[in-house]
């Protein structure tokens, strides 16, 4: 719908918006001038908040590390419009409790990262909310929380649970119980949003429903988690050396096909849908006492048991497992195959399937730039292998990519945009900290900066256990050092010397230079383990800023906070 000013804009004479030599006669010029003026009026009205609608105000806040919560917030905004609400979206750190007290309708979508920590764009809010002297909130603040987590982690949805409880403790009104989603969040999220808008608190306040307006800066992707792109594997090769230690593989995938291609940016993640190892399925069936030829019923229709097990999680014991298999005391640290080997009374093929969680997609940081490798995406994948009660267990997706697919194979993939982790401006100095497979996005950054002839200096902190075995992309990195693309490289090998040396130790060693780079406007990016490496690096960063900048701890913390606020301190951690 056009604003009221649109019609008058077409008829009001004024200074022409067109060049004097534009190829239009007088009538055409008047029409185009009026059209441009009308479009300008639309933009001005939208910027002023005048959308010509009568929707009620809704605040949607998200805490997102990988982009999922942010994407669901945008989905929620569109749905809210159809329910008579005009939603304003921002991350949690964009609001204070004082501002929140003025809100009447609030929906929060928040993920938990690492070992039960808030996402980077929710830390400040979480700290203020959990503070013992946090201000009381009015009962007129009506809210509900949707949490995003992973049942395989002990701190499942810890942050969402804390936010939900604390808002209620401070006086806000919970209008619908929080939902705590597993990695297969789609159904739970859909039910939650339908329920929220059906509550009296929302239904009685709704304005006039309308068709949602698209976000001006985002187009609806052709390929999504639910509609993946069928990609062809081009190459799989081992990056790590031989001998004991984690196996790391380099995987190249083609993104061009017969229809639309899949686009991405450096810093994004690639999601893919793995399938189980047929050998693992055979062992699983043997433990259950089935052949695999039995018929089971799935949401998609009937299927043979062996075929169905390709796409179910054969490891995690979930509440659904305990309920369907009638094993309420099943240990959380075991795996479903262990339960089967001990025997599950009354187990049928259908009960077996009903107790399993569907396999979920896996996200991997992209390690290539589309400017350096058009039509391709590269991944750097460490194979997950671990010992559980004396038996080696393997990660489904990582070993799928590492050893069970070959060039010519196809796999369903989608791009998870990482709006918080794209490279900075070409002329900004860049400090990159990514040990192990955390090197992935920084290989992409450096390829992009090389392709664009970016003028900003680059400093890479990288390391692992041993240089001989674990120096990933050695030739490429050494080549960048030789050409000067890498102005500095700090390498840490934890098993090569008498003392264990990690990237955070190198940061402390080079404290004055790191601080000097920051003072020159450098951005600092971190990729890797959230619970240990990223936390240690964050502590080291605070320490060197206090030391090199001659500040006390509070001033150093404020300095880091400014880096975050200015988008110069960014993390892709997991």
pTM: 0.81
Same domain assignment for residues 249 and 365: yes
* pLDDT, tens digit, 9 for 90 and up, residues 82-100: 999 999 999 999 999 999 9
Provide the pLDDT for residue 42: 42
Q: Are residues 338 and 387 in the same domain?
A: no
| Helix (H) / strand (E) containing 338 | helix 336-342
Cα→Cα distances 50→36, 74, 86, 131, 386, Å: 19, 20, 11, 37, 57
The answer to whether the CB of 346 falls within 8 A of the CB of 225 is no
Return the beta strands (E) in 446-543 as ranges: 458-464, 488-493, 523-528
CATH number for position 191: 3.40.50.360
Q: Do 37 and 138 share a structural domain?
A: no
Same domain, residue pair 394 and 271: yes
**Angle in degrees, CA 236, 237, 239, rounded to 5:** 135
Q: In this structure, what CATH number is given to the domain that contains residue 547?
A: 3.40.50.80
| Alpha carbon separation from 203 to 79, 84, 85, 140, 206 (Å, rounded) | 14, 9, 10, 15, 5
pLDDT tens by residue, 124-181: 999 999 999 999 999 999 999 999 999 888 899 999 999 999 999 999 999 999 999 9
What domain range includes position 304? Answer: 278-354
Residue range 434-450: mean pLDDT, rounded: 98
Residue 211: pLDDT over 90: no
Does residue 179 sit in the same domain as residue 319?
Answer: no
Which residues, including other chains, have CB under 8 Å from residue 127's CB and lie 6 or more apart?
Answer: none
Residues 6 or more apart in contact with residue 225 via CB below 8 angstroms: 271, 361, 414
Helices and strands per DSSP (H, E), number in the chain: 21, 22
Altogether, the residues listed in the chain come to a count of: 574
Residue 220 lies in a domain: no
Is 60 exceeded by the pLDDT of residue 217? Answer: no
- 450 plus 559 within the same structural domain: yes
**C-alpha distances out from residue 16 to 7, 25, 42, 249, Å:** 17, 13, 18, 60
Residue ending a domain, choose from 354, 387, 402: 354
210 occurs within a structural domain: no
Query: 241 and 366 share a domain?
Result: yes
Overall domain count for the chain:
5
Give domain status of residue 424, yes or no.
Answer: no
403 and 523 part of one domain:
no
Q: Name the packing angle between helices 553-565 and 535-548 (round to 10°).
A: 120
Residues 537 and 442 in one domain: yes
C-alpha distances (whole Å) from 500 to each of 75, 432, 463, 489, 505 are 47, 21, 11, 18, 9
Residues 86 and 33 both lie in one domain: no
Element (H, E) at 58: strand 56-63
pLDDT digits (tens, 9 = 90+) for 255-307: 976 556 789 999 999 999 999 999 999 999 999 999 999 999 999 999 999 99
On whether both 401 and 468 belong to a single domain, the answer is no
Closest CA to 267 of 92, 150, 473, 419: 419
Predicted local distance difference test score (pLDDT) of residue 334: 79
**Are 434 and 563 part of one and the same domain?**
yes
């Amino acid at each position: 719908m056009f604003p009221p000013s649109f019609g008058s804009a077409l008829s009001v004479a004024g200074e022409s918006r067109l060049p004097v030599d534009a190829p239009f006669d007088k009538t055409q010029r008047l029409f185009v001038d009026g059209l441009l003026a009308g479009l300008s009026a639309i933009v001005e009205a939208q910027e002023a908040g005048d959308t010509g609608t009568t929707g009620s105000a809704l605040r949607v806040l998200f805490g997102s590390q990988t982009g999922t919560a942010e994407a669901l917030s945008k989905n929620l905004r569109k749905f809210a419009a159809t329910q008579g609400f005009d939603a304003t979206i921002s991350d949690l750190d964009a609001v204070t409790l004082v501002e929140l007290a003025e809100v009447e309708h609030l929906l929060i979508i928040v993920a938990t990262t690492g070992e039960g920590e808030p996402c980077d764009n929710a830390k400040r809010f979480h700290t203020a909310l959990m503070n013992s002297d946090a201000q009381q909130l009015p009962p007129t603040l009506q809210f509900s929380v949707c949490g995003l987590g992973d049942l395989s982690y002990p701190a499942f949805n810890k942050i969402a649970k804390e936010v939900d409880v604390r808002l209620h403790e401070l006086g806000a009104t919970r209008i619908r119980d929080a939902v705590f989603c597993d990695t297969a969040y789609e159904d739970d999220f859909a039910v939650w949003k339908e329920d929220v808008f059906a509550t009296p608190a929302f239904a009685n306040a709704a304005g006039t429903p309308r068709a949602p307006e698209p976000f001006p800066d985002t187009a609806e992707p052709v390929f999504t988690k639910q509609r993946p792109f069928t990609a062809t594997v081009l190459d799989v090769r081992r990056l790590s050396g031989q001998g004991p230690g984690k196996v790391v593989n380099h995987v190249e995938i083609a993104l061009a096909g017969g229809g639309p291609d899949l686009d991405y940016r450096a810093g994004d993640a690639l999601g893919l849908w793995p399938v189980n190892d047929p050998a693992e399925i055979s062992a699983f069936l043997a433990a259950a006492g089935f052949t695999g030829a039995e018929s089971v019923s799935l949401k998609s229709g009937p299927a043979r048991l062996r075929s169905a097990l390709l796409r179910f999680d054969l490891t995690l014991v979930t509440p659904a497992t305990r309920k369907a298999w009638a094993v309420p005391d099943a240990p959380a640290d075991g795996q479903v195959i262990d339960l089967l080997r001990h025997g599950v009374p009354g187990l049928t093929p259908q009960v077996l399937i009903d107790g399993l969680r569907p396999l979920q997609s896996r996200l991997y940081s992209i390690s290539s730039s589309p400017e350096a490798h058009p039509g391709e995406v590269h991944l750097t994948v460490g194979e997950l292998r671990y010992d559980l009660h004396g038996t080696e267990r393997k990660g489904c997706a990582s070993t799928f990519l590492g050893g069970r697919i070959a060039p010519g194979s196809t796999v369903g993939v989608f791009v998870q945009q990482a709006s918080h982790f794209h490279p900075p401006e070409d002329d900004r100095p860049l400090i990159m900290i990514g040990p192990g497979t955390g090197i992935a996005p920084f290989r992409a950054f450096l390829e992009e900066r090389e392709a664009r002839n970016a003028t900003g200096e680059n400093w890479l902190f990288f390391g692992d256990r041993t240089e001989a075995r674990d120096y990933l992309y050695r030739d490429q990195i050494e080549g960048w050092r030789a050409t000067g693309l890498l102005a500095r490289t700090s390498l840490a090998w934890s098993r090569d010397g008498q003392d264990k040396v990690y990237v955070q130790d190198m940061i402390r060693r080079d404290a004055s230079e790191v601080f000097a780079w920051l003072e020159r406007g450098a951005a600092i990016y971190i990729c890797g383990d959230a619970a240990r490496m990223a936390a240690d690096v964050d502590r080291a960063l605070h320490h060197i800023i206090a030391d090199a900048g001659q500040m006390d701890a509070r001033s150093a913390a404020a300095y880091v906070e400014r880096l975050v606020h200015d988008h110069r301190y960014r993390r892709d951690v997991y």
